[in-house]
Amino acid sequence: MSKKITSREVDYSTWYNDIVQHADLAENSGVRGCMVIKPYGYAIWEKMQAELDKKFKATGHQNAYFPLFIPKSYFSKEASHVDGFAKECAVVTHYRLKTSDDGKEIVVDESAKLEEELIVRPTSETIIWDTYRKWIQSYRDLPLLINQWANVVRWEMRTRLFLRTAEFLWQEGHTAHATKDEAIEETEKMINVYADFAQDFMAMPVIIGLKSESERFAGALETYCIEALMQDGKALQAGTSHFLGQNFAKAFDVKYASKEGKQEYVWATSWGVSTRLMGALIMTHSDDKGLVLPPKLAPFQVVIVPIYRNEDQLKEINKSVDSLKSLLEEKGVSVKYDSRDTHKPGWKFAEYELKGVPIRLAVGMRDLENGTIEIARRDTLEKETVSIKGVENKIVMLLEEIQENLYSKAKSFRASNTFEANSYEEFKQIIKKGGFVYAHWDGTNATELKIKNETKATIRCIPQEPSEENGVCMISGDHSERRVLFAKAY
Amino acid sequence: MSKKITSREVDYSTWYNDIVQHADLAENSGVRGCMVIKPYGYAIWEKMQAELDKKFKATGHQNAYFPLFIPKSYFSKEASHVDGFAKECAVVTHYRLKTSDDGKEIVVDESAKLEEELIVRPTSETIIWDTYRKWIQSYRDLPLLINQWANVVRWEMRTRLFLRTAEFLWQEGHTAHATKDEAIEETEKMINVYADFAQDFMAMPVIIGLKSESERFAGALETYCIEALMQDGKALQAGTSHFLGQNFAKAFDVKYASKEGKQEYVWATSWGVSTRLMGALIMTHSDDKGLVLPPKLAPFQVVIVPIYRNEDQLKEINKSVDSLKSLLEEKGVSVKYDSRDTHKPGWKFAEYELKGVPIRLAVGMRDLENGTIEIARRDTLEKETVSIKGVENKIVMLLEEIQENLYSKAKSFRASNTFEANSYEEFKQIIKKGGFVYAHWDGTNATELKIKNETKATIRCIPQEPSEENGVCMISGDHSERRVLFAKAY
């Protein structure tokens, strides 16, 4: 029952798994590649959902729900999409089980075979655009701004909790527009919504950019992404927003009558983030003692641990804690008071450190006498004893400070792990150690592939910034207009 | 494009479908039995979810997420459960598609056959109890109070939007307890949470009771339910809460060490409500003009329609409406202002009537001159013109009044369609016309089945009230201790 966390130095990958497991975030299930998201982990995901949902609604989107299953034939309708998606997926072929003839087991009833197989959605463009055909007739029906919160399944061979699982939870926005410009504007708006969320709530700095052709979403004309740098120097793609052009409108025959009465194909976008964000959150802030959570996403921001020898002492401490708890809750701070007598204070300290609770308060008998309380910050591990009077104001400020500190810490980590390479030799040396590398590239798939094969690094994005800078591709020597962002990636 | 609603009198079932379709709640998809929940319908479901989730959390439950897929063998572990559930379900047999040899289509890759088939969850007891085995060791781990919001699939042959669909959305609570009494207490607590929600938010009166043995959940020792009466005189089961005894603990070997150090099997409950509640909501309140929504679940409670001839008039009206809208929103009222020039006021009036918006306000130039506004209630269809000054307070009160009026209207409808039958002849006569019928029953499956076969009526529940009343079974003449509730049901 030891909850020792392997250090990052010793084994980064085990460190990650230890945190996911010991902080009670998620675990593998009896179903290959499918995870169980445990209550503490799910509570963080709920906070993410709530904030994202608010942002989607504030930008005019509505939620809806589309079927889990997609008829196989739908995938064939958009040629590049089927290549990217319909291959590794869960296929439903039958709709009934029966008791075997010998009465001993449950078997598939072969007489209940579906005429057309159903695919468990790996993403919903096809079923949604099949529906939009019925919803869109006129320019008055546009824009159509819809989001779905759902589970999706991609049959991944190598899975890791949160980062790559066969089933995962996500949201997928699917919008339809009258013009190309409007669709591009939407695509860009949503990648900025994701970037703002990453920075303001996850305290995770991200680079916004475009994917190169080879990394684009199957069926998209452009894919925008946000890329974050993890503590092992690998990049993690945290969200994508796709400009789909008229590909799906053409595949599913979705046209609208313009104001001038002309029939036009609709322009589309789609965009999504998933429970993968949980992996990004963990790897951005956590340390060798366990999870570290930004206050804005912590299931509870403050935990209070009483230190007592007997029931009478606990009763006295309760009085003091109850009023502090109310004061904090009035100020919008979420508080857990753990007065269980089944666990010792030391165990509780370790437990909440492991679970990344931003602030821990401890109150003992001497504190009651002195009118003090002990405050411990999870981010810096600093402790101090302060007067309990007015401490609620201090805590509100401290939560803000922790949120900001985590962001600036992550930002300086990224800064000190971001490099420019001016030759392929230099590039290879840097990439071996990890980090973000800005380098010139000639824009060809061939060069990109060569670099990937030789170094495992990929173009994470063609970033919005820095802006243009003439140079030559580090491989071919051909002209390049800007540096692109390389890294090894999750 | 006509949105005419068939009257209930002419065809109740078409009336229901017309409302679901024309009020933009849901529609059938290209996938047999699976629905698309449209944004307006989904917004109502989100309100239901939010309120239920609040109640679950207030009663100590946490959310988590378990896999969509369940290995076939899990179902065989609880014998009665497999009979009830594992038969009509979606079976995943393969995990890959490929391009056919002739390159013309996408086919299932036969080489990617799963060793063990996976069932798309029809309910999650088995996968959850397989997980609980790892989570529960000691009495300290109990009670375990968990809820999941998820999609589930049951391969229904005859489907109807919201009422019976192959895929539906629901929540399923799954709790584990140290003692039988505690588990029964939880089962009862949760059926009361559902009843309170139905009454306070859906404005739908329900009867709480126990299911007869033949109607019990597969694997339960007792099933509690809430039953509501629809306008066609048929009952609708709106929620269930199951006392599962130690069945699943034994099937999945979930034991805990008691305080005394003894190994004991855990006691279980499960409980759920689904998007079926949408069907119940629609059929409880709506009329021949369309949907009628209780204010507490309406996506927007007030719609404001401006009546204007030109841009200048609209600008003037906007000023007045903007300040009223702010006043209402400050009071927590949700408001939609529909000033679109693409649709006429008459069209908008019909549209929002159809969509069941509780209060419609209309403002024209004469209103501006007179300082008035027109208020129309959706529930009674009454209209009045009142002073715009202070109208926000009137609206807040009116929303409460509408909420209460809908509940009392539904309650009197139920009262006038609830009967006692003292002979089988009488029973048959009443049941033909529909409604709730209280009658004596001898407690046997045989009698229940005879009644069902001959009248299509089933025992909806053995109600908590009225309490005991000695009598004789209307079929067998055997002794009966209380009347039970019969009805034809959805």
pLDDT digits (tens, 9 = 90+) for B419-476: 999 999 999 999 999 999 999 999 999 999 999 999 999 999 999 877 778 899 999 9
**What rounded mean pLDDT belongs to chain B?**
95
Listed in sequence order, the residues at least 6 apart from A27 whose beta carbon sits closer than 8 Å to its beta carbon are A20, A21, A35, A36, A38, A161, B131, B134
Six token digits for residue B184? 């029964």
Residue A52 to residue A196: CA distance in whole angstroms: 10
- Closest C-alpha among B74, B118, B116 to residue B219: B74
DSSP of B30-89:
SSTTPEEE-HHHHHHHHHHHHHHHHHHHHTT-EE-B--SEEEHHHHHTSHHHHHHHSSS-
Phi first, then psi, for residue A276 (nearest 5°) are -55, -30
The shortest CB-CB distance from B39 to any of A63, A127, A167 is to A63
- Summarize pLDDT for A129-170 with one digit per residue, the tens: 999 999 999 999 999 999 999 999 999 888 999 999 999 999
Interstrand relation of B359-364 and B302-307 (parallel, antiparallel or unpaired): parallel
Residue A13 to residue A254: CA distance in whole angstroms: 46
**pTM recorded for the entire structure:** 0.97
Question: Is the minimum CB–CB distance between B89 and chain A shorter than 8 Å?
Answer: yes
- Closest C-alpha among A209, A106, A204, A71 to residue A485: A209
Residue B326 C-alpha, separation from nearest chain A C-alpha, in angstroms: 17
Mean pLDDT, range B378-385, rounded to an integer: 98
- Closest C-alpha among A46, A126, A144 to residue A80: A126
B61: which chain A residues are within 8 Å (Cβ-Cβ)? none
CATH number of the domain at A12-66+124-285, out of 3.30.930.10, 3.40.50.720, 3.90.550.10, 3.90.1150.10?
3.30.930.10
- Closest C-alpha among A420, A358, A362 to residue A388: A362
Residue A173 CA neighbour count, 13 Å, CB half: 34
pLDDT at position A103 is 78
- The DSSP secondary-structure symbol of A206 reads -
Residue B360 to residue B321: CA distance in whole angstroms: 13
Phi first, then psi, for residue B25 (nearest 5°) are -95, -45
Mean pLDDT, range B130-155, rounded to an integer: 97
Sheet with strand A383-387: strands edge to edge = A335-337, A302-306, A359-363, A372-377, A383-387
B155: which chain A residues are within 8 Å (Cβ-Cβ)? 95-96
Residue B202 to residue B240: CA distance in whole angstroms: 16
Question: Is the minimum CB–CB distance between A347 and chain B shorter than 8 Å?
Answer: no
Residue type, A326: S
The shortest CB-CB distance from B96 to any of A27, A37, A155 is to A155
Residue B364 to residue B307: CA distance in whole angstroms: 5
Question: Is the minimum CB–CB distance between A65 and chain B shorter than 8 Å?
Answer: yes
The shortest CB-CB distance from B108 to any of A67, A73, A91 is to A91
Residue B82 scores a pLDDT above 80: no
Residues of chain A whose pLDDT is less than 50?
Answer: 1
Residue B362 scores a pLDDT above 80: yes
Topology annotation, domain B12-67+122-285? BirA Bifunctional Protein; domain 2 (3.30.930)
pLDDT at position B99 is 85
The shortest CB-CB distance from A31 to any of B65, B118, B150 is to B118
* Residues forming beta bridges with residue B150, ordered by sequence position: B170
pLDDT at position A78 is 75
- Closest C-alpha among A219, A249, A245 to residue A122: A219
Q: Which of residues 108-147 of A touch B (CB under 8 A)?
A: 108, 117-120, 127, 130-131, 134, 140, 146
- Closest C-alpha among A48, A256, A37, A50 to residue A141: A256
What count of residues does chain B have? 490
CB pairs under 8 A between A and B: 182
A102: which chain B residues are within 8 Å (Cβ-Cβ)? none
**CA of A36: which chain B residue's CA is closest?**
B66
pLDDT at position A319 is 96
**CA of B88: which chain A residue's CA is closest?**
A96
Sheet with strand B207-210: strands edge to edge = B62-63, B144-153, B167-177, B267-274, B235-245, B222-229, B207-210, B458-463, B483-487, B436-440, B418-420
Which helix (H) or strand (E) covers residue B367, if one does?
helix B365-370
Question: Is the minimum CB–CB distance between A87 and chain B shorter than 8 Å?
Answer: yes
**CA of A34: which chain B residue's CA is closest?**
B67
Mean pLDDT, range B373-385, rounded to an integer: 98
Interstrand relation of A62-63 and A144-153 (parallel, antiparallel or unpaired): parallel
Residue B473 to residue A159: CA distance in whole angstroms: 60
**CA of B341: which chain A residue's CA is closest?**
A140
- The DSSP secondary-structure symbol of B160 reads B
The shortest CB-CB distance from B95 to any of A82, A150, A155 is to A155
Six token digits for residue A365? 């008998």
- The DSSP secondary-structure symbol of A489 reads B
Q: How many CB atoms lie within 10 A of CB A285?
A: 23
Residue B224 scores a pLDDT above 50: yes
Residue B54 C-alpha, separation from nearest chain A C-alpha, in angstroms: 13
Residue A213 C-alpha, separation from nearest chain B C-alpha, in angstroms: 23
Residue B194 to residue B276: CA distance in whole angstroms: 13
Q: How many CB atoms lie within 10 A of CB A142?
A: 20
Six token digits for residue A107? 């078997």
Task: Flag if A167 and B38 touch (Cβ within 8 Å).
Answer: no
pLDDT at position A1 is 45
Q: Position of tokens 């369940």?
A: B70
Residue A75 C-alpha, separation from nearest chain B C-alpha, in angstroms: 8
Residue A377 to residue A158: CA distance in whole angstroms: 37
The band of B157, judged by pLDDT with boundaries at 50, 70 and 90, is: confident
The shortest CB-CB distance from A63 to any of B46, B67, B94 is to B46
- The DSSP secondary-structure symbol of A160 reads B
Residue A434 to residue A373: CA distance in whole angstroms: 43
pLDDT at position B103 is 78
A66: which chain B residues are within 8 Å (Cβ-Cβ)? 29, 36
**CA of A65: which chain B residue's CA is closest?**
B37
A95: which chain B residues are within 8 Å (Cβ-Cβ)? 88-91, 155
Residue B1 scores a pLDDT above 50: no
Residue B83 scores a pLDDT above 90: no
Topology annotation, domain B300-397? Rossmann fold (3.40.50)
A106: which chain B residues are within 8 Å (Cβ-Cβ)? 72-73, 75-76, 82, 86
Question: Is the minimum CB–CB distance between B53 and chain A shorter than 8 Å?
Answer: no
Q: Position of tokens 């927003």?
A: A241
Mean pLDDT, range B71-92, rounded to an integer: 81
Task: Flag if A108 and B98 touch (Cβ within 8 Å).
Answer: no
Domain boundaries, given as residue ranges, for chain B? 12-67+122-285, 300-397, 418-487
Residue type, A247: N
Residue A32 to residue B110: CA distance in whole angstroms: 19
Percent of all residues in chain B with a pLDDT value above 70, rounded to a whole number: 98
Q: Which of residues 141-180 of B touch A (CB under 8 A)?
A: 146, 150-151, 153, 155, 167, 169
The angle that helices A12-22 and A276-285 make with each other, rounded to 10 degrees, is 110
Alpha helices for A287-370 (secondary structure H): 311-330, 345-354, 365-370
- Closest C-alpha among A185, A173, A378, A193 to residue A285: A378
Question: Is the minimum CB–CB distance between A46 and chain B shorter than 8 Å?
Answer: yes
Residue B321 C-alpha, separation from nearest chain A C-alpha, in angstroms: 20
B29: which chain A residues are within 8 Å (Cβ-Cβ)? 66-67, 127, 130-131
User: B418-487 architecture in CATH?
Assistant: 2-Layer Sandwich (3.30)
Q: Most B CBs within 10 Å: which of A25, A83, A91, A157, as the mutation test of the B interface?
A: A91
Task: Flag if B74 and A150 touch (Cβ within 8 Å).
Answer: no
Residue A122 to residue A110: CA distance in whole angstroms: 26
